[in-house]
Amino acid sequence: MAPIMESFRDLRKPTGKNVYWDSQLRDKLRQAQEVICQLAKDGLAYYDKTRPTTIMTDWSKEGIGFGGWCLALCGSRHLTPSEAGYASVEGEALAVTWWLRKARLFLLGCPNLAIITDHRSLVKLLGDRALKDVINPRLFNLKEKTLQFKFLMKYLPGKRNTATDFLSRYTTMRASHEASDMDLDDDIQVAVACATVAALEPDIIALLARVVAGDWPQQKSQELACLRPFFSVWDRLAINQDLVTYSVDQGCVRLVLPEDLRRQIAANLHTGHQGLDSMHRRARQSVYWPGIEGDLQHRHAQCTSCDEHAPHCLLKLCTRSLRNTPSSNSSQICSI
């Protein structure tokens, strides 16, 4: 419609000048009305709410987009700086929630709605996964925004999701910051004290640059020696507030620590002399580095206090005491 309305563009400018309406402009307006009505007649139809409504969404490092087959609405936008650091599952969930908000006039109360995604883990996350089972705070907030809609999640391979894949990479709008998005970064605030040291570590600087660029080599042997331990988990790494984070599907967002901090953090995780399972559980909520499970196991095994008071050591001590006790008192000790 833009070329058709070209003659009337100056009339909409707030110039403060007088507008002269003459017969020539009246004829152009009538012609424009006829052309627009004909375009609407040939290309528009009423939205039929009784038919199934389906949408395909996609997320990329550049933006998010949505579309469908028999098109009723489509759109795309750029990512905010914080959204550009989302993990893939978080970005795909963001695309779904943004589309639900943009198209809510079509979707609220829609009885037959299906959402198509090329991210398989999102099917269960936004499908039948209970809200209480979503550990990741960012995914928790995104899933919460979808609860007012009733829909069915379906998976479609990315090679068949070409339309929205194009929209997410050729976006049309520049997104503005939203307060709700800024609030989603609270999950790593417990590690802010590590930010200065992490930023000064050369290996972390190299890792940060690699994650931002996303240009990982095809072979592990082609990667820098300091980044090879991260090669197998590159798709789980993201950037959050200029820090490298690690997350698996709907798990907690964990800060990637430099080598200089790992020994101290492992000691801190064992401060309460809890068991190895508890150490792993605490680590999975906040921090990550390659080989963290083995390092925590080694730290637990080195603790002499835990070794002396572990259940198997107490059993050995009781057995030794029974052997050194006279037989007349054995029954009494056993009863105790």
pLDDT digits (tens, 9 = 90+) for 54-105: 888 888 877 887 776 677 777 778 888 778 888 888 888 998 998 888 888 7
64 close to 161: Cβ distance less than 8 angstroms: no
pTM over 0.85: no
- Residue numbers of the chain with a pLDDT score lower than 50: 173-198, 313-315, 328-336
Question: Which residues fall within 8 angstroms of residue 16, CB to CB, at 6 or more apart?
Answer: none
Q: For residues 155-170, b (16+ Cβ closer than 10 Å) or e, as one string?
A: eeeeeebebbbebbee
* Residue given tokens 């590690």 in the structure block: 191
List beta partners, residue 54: 114
- The per-residue pLDDT for 174 is 46
- The per-residue pLDDT for 230 is 94
Sequence ranges of the domains in the chain: 53-177, 188-305
CATH, domain range 53-177 = 3.30.420.10
* Rounded Cα gap, residues 73 and 94, in angstroms: 18
CA-CA-CA-CA torsion sign (230, 232, 233, 235): positive
Q: How many residues appear in the chain?
A: 336
HEC-encoded secondary structure of 120-183:
CHHHHHCCCCCHHHCCCHHHHHHHHCCCCCCCEEEECCHHHCHHHHHHHHCCCCCCCCCHHHHH
- The per-residue pLDDT for 29 is 87
Four-CA torsion 65, 66, 69, 71, nearest 10 degrees = -100
71 close to 130: Cβ distance less than 8 angstroms: no
In degrees, to the nearest 5, what angle opens at C-alpha 269 toward C-alphas 264 and 271?
90
- The per-residue pLDDT for 250 is 63
Domain 188-305 sits in CATH 3.40.50.2300: no
pLDDT digits (tens, 9 = 90+) for 289-300: 999 999 998 888
* Rounded Cα gap, residues 272 and 287, in angstroms: 17
